[in-house]
A and B are shown apart, each in its own frame.
Chain A
Amino acid sequence: GAVVSQHPSRVICKSGTSVKIECRSLDFQATTMFWYRQFPKQSLMLMATSNEGSKATYEQGVEKDKFLINHASLTLSTLTVTSAHPEDSSFYICSARAGTPGETQYFGPGTRLLVL
Chain B
Amino acid sequence: GENVEQHPSTLSVQEGDSAVIKCTYSDSASNYFPWYKQELGKRPQLIIDIRSNVGEKKDQRIAVTLNKTAKHFSLHITETQPEDSAVYFCASRRALTFGSGTRLQVQP
Contacts and interface: CB of A to CB of B under 8 A. Distances in A.
Interface of A: 34, 42-46, 49, 60, 91, 93, 95, 101-102, 104-110, 112
User: For chain A, what secondary structure do more than half of its interface residues adopt (helix, strand, loop), or is it mixed?
Assistant: strand
Given A107-B43, A107-B44, A46 B100 contact: no
B95 A46 contact: yes
Contacts of A91: 41
Interface of B: 1, 31-32, 34, 36, 41-46, 49, 51, 89, 94-101
Contacts of B89: 43-44
A95 B89 CA distance: 15
Contact of B42 (A34, A45, A105, A109): A109
Contacts, number: 48
Contact of B46 (A60, A104, A108, A112): A104
A46 B4 CA distance: 13
Given A102-B31, A102-B32, A102-B51, A46 B96 contact: yes
